[in-house]
Amino acid sequence: MKRLFVIATGNAGKIRDFAFILGTEQNDFKTLREIGFEEDILENGNSFEENAIIKSQTVARWLAEKNTEATVLADDSGLQVFALDGEPGIYSARYAGKHGDDKANNAKLLQKLEGVKDRSARYFCALSYQTVIRESNGKFSISEPRIFEGECRGQINLAPVGDKGFGYDPLFIPNGFSKTFAQMELAEKKPISHRGKAIRALRDALENDLREN
C-alpha cells in the first residue's frame, strides 16, 4: 500500500517537484482539491516557517477529523532582497497589492531597487512535515511539525529577462550563472531551486529515520 502525501496546495505543478524527488513507486501524491479540502487557510504568520506550519496543521487536523491517515507537506516560499531588509519576503506573491500579479510585483521590486548597488537576494523555502496516524485505541493523532529549509542565493537583474517560470524568476540570477531562472530549463533549475533543496532535505531525513528504525 502506497503512503499518501497530501501537498497543501492547489498547484498541480508543485506535485511534480515532490513526486520527482520523493518518488512515486511507494508514494501517492494529492493536492488539496483532490482530497476535497476547500477551506480558506489564513496565512497570518510572521515568517515562512510559521506560515508553512499553519498550512500543514490546518490540513492535518482536517484529515484527522476525516479519519484519514496521511503525511501532510506544506511549504511557504518567497524572495528576500537583503538591501531591502528581506522584502518582499512573506509578501512575495502580493508585494504590489494583488495576489499573484507577477508583472506588478516585479515592477515594484525594480522601482525600490533604483540606485541600489547591492542587489543580492535569495529565494527561500520552509517546508513543514506532519503525519496523521491512527493510534491503537482507534483515535487519530497529529505529529509535531518538522521544518526543512532550502535556499538559492543570487542577484536581482536590472530588468526582467526570460519567459519561463513565474514570480520573480525573470529578475533572479542565481549565483554561478549568467541568466535568470526564467531563462532556464527545468532540468537546469531543479537541482539548485530553494524548494528542491528543502524537499531533498526532507527525503534525506526520512531515509535516515528508516535506517534508525
- Residue 162 annotated as part of some ligand binding site: no
Q: Is 76 marked active-site?
A: yes
- Residue 203 annotated as part of some ligand binding site: no
Catalytic residue of the set 76, 102, 163, 204: 76
- Residue 201 annotated as part of some ligand binding site: no
- Cell triple for 140: 487519530
Closest CA to 28 of 38, 17, 15, 37: 15
- Residue 150 annotated as part of some ligand binding site: no
Residue 115 CA from chain centroid, whole number: 31
Closest CA to 59 of 76, 41, 47: 41
- Residue 128 annotated as part of some ligand binding site: no
Give the Cα separation of 128 and 198 in Å (integer): 10
- Residue 165 annotated as part of some ligand binding site: no
Closest CA to 109 of 167, 44, 173: 167
- Residue 9 annotated as part of some ligand binding site: yes
- Residue 67 annotated as part of some ligand binding site: no
CB-count exposure of residue 209 (10 Å: 0-12, 13-18, 19+): exposed
Which residues are annotated as part of the binding site for substrate?
9-14, 77, 166-169, 189, 194-195
Task: Give the residue ranges of the annotated binding site for Mg(2+).
Answer: 76
Annotated binding-site ranges: 9-14, 76-77, 166-169, 189, 194-195
Give the active site residues: 76
